[in-house]
Amino acid sequence: MKTVLITGCSSGYGLETARHFHAQGWNVIATMRTPREDLLGQSDRLRVLALDVTKPDSISAVVESAGPIDVLVNNAGIGVVGAFEATPMSTTREVFETNTFGVIAMTQAVVPEFRSRGDGVVVNVTSSVTLAPMPLAAVYTASKMAIEGFTASLALEMAHFNVRVKLVEPGYCPTTQFTSNGSVRMDGLIPEAYRPFAEPILAAFGEADAVTLPADVADAVCRAANDTSTQLRFPAGADAVALAAPS
């Protein structure tokens, strides 16, 4: 029976992905900054562990407690929407600490085990902002584009050791990527001068017809984890699939 470790399982994509893998018969290690046992229920194939991907000691403790794993899913992330001009560098660093450096640190923590065993999969969850430019998301896009490049390069590097590295690119989900845990971070990021430009865009976010569901992402992550081909990218959700399609 295989074991998957998933980051960012307190809600949205991570929570649904943990449920999906568990339903498929996997051992699941669901991690979140503040563990909540009630989110996933009780099972002898499920563990909920505390993890903050921005803290090296937290990463080391989780990797040691988890023991051998077959798949790492780097899902933990935070969002930010706003005019780049108004985005403090402290906010930019906060976004990169989780979305970029957190992913890199978690990956580096498990790669030695995968390499020495000659088996293992890393699945990095990015965003459809890497497939097409989106206004008011420059910092968020940069943090995710960095992981796209990181993953593509690492996939070539680790293939020598029979370790697979994959990307899942979710489309727009109004209840997760940009809104959860981000309201304070985004306060004041639309200055008055930007309002005529920003307000129609923000309104369109709420009226989008083709949105991605957490179940779409969970399915794509599971497919990526089980894929033995050289396919790197797995768009998730109808909007992401459309953006990824050849023009």
Determine how β-strand 71-74 pairs with β-strand 121-125: parallel
What the block records as the tokens of 223 is: 């497919």
What the block records as the tokens of 61 is: 């403790």
d(Cα 127, Cα 137) in Å, to the nearest integer? 11
Which of 13, 140, 172, 194 is an active site residue? 140
What the block records as the tokens of 113 is: 């085990």
What the block records as the tokens of 150 is: 């990181």
Determine how β-strand 27-32 pairs with β-strand 121-125: unpaired
User: Per-residue DSSP letters for 34-64?
Assistant: S--GGGT---TTEEEEE--TT-HHHHHHHHH
Alpha helices in 99-186 (DSSP H): 103-117, 138-159
Is residue 194 flagged as an active site residue?
no
Greatest CA separation for the chain: 56
Q: Residues for the chain: how many in total?
A: 247
Q: Three-state SS for 140?
A: helix
> Which residues are tagged catalytic?
140
